[in-house]
Structure 1
Amino acid sequence: MGEPARKLEPANKPPQEETVSPWKEAWRKFRKNKIALVGTSIVFFFILVALFAPLIAPQGINEQDLPNRLQPPSADFWFGTDDFGRDIFSRVVYGARLSLTVGFLAVVGSAIVGSMLGIIAGYYGKWVDTIISRLFDIMLAFPSILLAIAVVSILGPSLRNALIAIAIINIPNFGRLIRSRVLSVKEEEYIMAAKAIGMSDRRILFSHVLPNSMTPIIVQGSLAVATAILEAAALGFLGLGAQIPEPEWGAMLAASRALLVQAPWTLFFPGLAIMLAVLGFNLMGDGLRDALDPKMKT
């Protein structure tokens, strides 16, 4: 018996294109951005330092060694000691835990509240949009640090109240960003179809509008953490944030400003930690924006 006839395939059959999910494509672009990877490495370094602070710090944060006060950096004291003989390296390490906690929690709080207000304003429009948008305009009319100082002055100086103030002043940034995104998303055909089949507004918002508005939230959130760390340090420096003897970087700068000439290392290392942390989040945020923003695609 002869072999069965084989089905002939067209010689010029076009190759099938492999479908790649948007998140995989964004990750591929992010990995190619060397500067973003440097920023991400800095961020993960500080996260690891904050998580393993008890294992890294050689001394307690308030352990005083008066005979060794104001010692310069050495093999025994890597970052030197302050005017109470406390090890600056240990305090900077524990300060990473405080600063990152304030940064992350403040951004999460402002992102949740701001996103919800922005979604409601953009989706319902009319007088709801007018009221919420004017509220955002009023808050943005004040310089952020002055508004944070006003909030902390009302609530009282403390690290917890500084966190609340930072979360409040960042709400309009998320709200306006998400509102503009929702204004375009709600005109899409799938939103029209969801309304046509009688889907409730709450289900449309949480099942369709919010998931399709996550990209700007992620990008803005990574950049906002850097701003929150800087604002927490500013409030701590002014005495309105973390209070002595908490090892918060801004408070450490404030406590050591009189030692600028006598012991400059007491200011240099906390200031260097603030600079590196803010730089890391900014570089990572720029990389996320380039990878996730459709307008950046070529």
Structure 2
Amino acid sequence: MAQIATNSESVVLEKEETISPWKEAWRTFKKNRLAVVGFFIVLFFILLAVFAPWIAPEGINEQKLGDRLQSPSAAHWFGTDDFGRDILSRIIHGARISLWVGFLAVIMSAVIGSILGIIAGYYGKWVDIIISRIFDIMLAFPSILLAIAVVAALGPSLRNALIAIAIINIPNFGRLIRSKVLSVKQEEYVMAAKAIGMKDRRILFSHILPNSMAPIIVQGTLAIGTAIIEAAALGFLGLGAKAPSPEWGKMLADSKEYLILAPWTMIFPGLVIMLTVLGFNLMGDGLRDALDPRMKS
């Protein structure tokens, strides 16, 4: 009986050992209630953006001057703006713009920053010094001021705002990956790959990069929320999306004159920005707790 019990315990231990780190991270993530709430918030807005043409009750530029600045009602749940346009419909379509800017800007900054960070951390010496000093110079400027400078140089537009947001986030990914590479390149499997003559490019993209993905995913999730705020800020300042685009920051800028007369024109776009960023932040915190071994008991 004792031998049977020992065998069953060993089988259980073997099953536990075969669980992949990603499955274990998913289990940890699901146990975090706030992270799950954030996930569903993000999923809601993604679905809203995907199915916007079918969900929105009216067209984004359908003007009804007779219904100007109507308060929220059964006909217009979020009210109307100064042109009689349905605010709910514009917010739904605006989700497409804000999420598109957030995801694409972060993908661009993550790719460029990760490549620079891997090169700096792996080769070190003068390469590391040059890349790190570039990152330090970029981080010395407040991010929003640097974004404004980039947009001012390129010209105000949504595309240039996206490029500016991508540029200002490159150092965050670069420094994060550099620090990860400095520790990973000392691992035995990397030293063994060097010993057998494996090329640097294969070592970087087959061994080091896959083992550095966890911090990239966490930073990327948190950066999307930041990118949405930055896009809204540039739109509010008139450096991002142009009228009649339903971008959330531009909606806030167009409604600031009616804050007292029709506060709903600013309240609902502001609430949507807050909820979206909150969702990404909650989900990012949950991913950090699930993927960072130091956060596990």
Q: 1:184, 1:112 → 2: CA distance? A: 20
Q: Where does residue 198 of structure 1 map in the other structure?
A: 197
Task: Look up the SS of the partner of 1:99 in the other structure.
Answer: helix
Instruction: Name the CA distance, whole Å, in 2 between partners of 1:280 and 1:287.
Output: 11
Shift in Å, 1:9? 8.0
**Mapping of residues 163-174 of structure 1, within 5 Å:** 163-174=162-173
Separation of aligned partners in 2, 1:202 and 1:174: 20
SS in 1 for 2:6: coil
- Match of 2:44? 45
Residue deviations 1:209-250 (CA, integer Å, cap 9, x gap): 000000000000000000000000000000001111100000
Structure (1 or 2) with the greater helix fraction: 2
CA distance in structure 2 between the partners assigned to 1:265 and 1:40 by the alignment: 27
User: Who wins on radius of gyration, i.e. which is larger?
Assistant: 1
Distance in structure 1 (CA, Å) of the matches to 2:101 and 2:224: 9
Q: Secondary structure at the match of 2:193?
A: helix
1:180 aligns with 2:179: yes
3-state secondary structure, aligned to 1:208: helix
Where do residues 70-219 of structure 1 align in structure 2 (5 Å cutoff)? Answer: 70-219=69-218
Equivalence for 2:267: 268
Q: Distance in 2 between matches of 1:9 and 1:68?
A: 81
The code of the aligned residue for 2:68 comes to R
Partner Cα separation in structure 1 for residue 3 and residue 32 of structure 2? 41
TM-score by length of 1: 0.96
TM-aligned CA deviation for residue 12 of structure 1: 6.0
Q: Identify if the C-alpha distance between structure 1 residues 12 and 136 changes in structure 2 by more than 3 Å, giving closer, same or farther.
A: same
Q: Give ranges in structure 1 of 5+ residues lacking alignment.
A: 1-7
Runs of 4+ in 1 over 2 A off after TM superposition: 8-14
- Equivalent residue number for residue 4 of structure 1: none
Instruction: Determine if the alignment matches structure 1 residue 56 to structure 2 residue 58.
Output: no
- AA aligned to 1:191 is V
TM-score by length of 2: 0.97
Q: Deviations over 1:85-130 (max 9, x none)?
A: 1110110000100000000000000000000000000000000000
CA distance in 1, matches of 2:229, 2:73: 29
Q: Aligned letter for 1:61?
A: I
> What is the SS of the residue equivalent to 2:122?
helix
For 1:9 and 1:81, how far apart are their aligned partners in 2? Answer: 75
Please list, as runs of the form range in 1=range in 2, the aligned pairs for 1:3-14 lying within 5 A after superposition. 10=3, 13=6
2:261 match: secondary structure: coil
In 2, the alpha carbon distance for the partners of 1:224 and 1:132 equals 21
- What is the number of equivalent residue pairs in this alignment? 291
CA-based RMSD of the aligned residues comes to 1.1
Cα gap change, 1:157/1:9 in structure 2, threshold over 3 Å: closer, same or farther? Answer: same
Deviation at 1:291, TM superposition (A): 0.3
Alignment-derived partner of residue 252 in structure 1: 251
Alignment of 1:17-56 (within 5 A): 17=13, 18=15, 19=17, 20-56=19-55
Percent identity, please.
75
Query: What are the residue-to-residue correspondences of 1:221-260 with 2, within 5 Å?
Result: 221-260=220-259
- In the alignment, the residues of structure 1 paired with residue 161 and residue 272 of structure 2 have an alpha-carbon distance, to the nearest angstrom, of 19
Give the whole-Å Cα distance in 2 for the aligned partners of 1:95 and 1:144: 24
Does the residue aligned with 2:138 lie in a helix, a strand or coil?
Answer: helix
- Match for 2:53: what amino acid? P
Amino acid at match of 2:196: I
Give, in angstroms, the shift of residue 10 of structure 1.
3.3
Q: What is the identity, as a one-letter code, of the residue corresponding to 1:32? A: K
Distance 1:261 1:9, change over 3 A: closer
Whole-angstrom CA distance in 2 between matches of 1:78 and 1:241: 27
Matches within 5 A, 1:279-298: 279-298=278-297
Query: Amino acid of the residue matched to residue 257 of structure 2?
Result: A
* One-letter amino acid of the structure 2 residue matched with residue 48 of structure 1: L
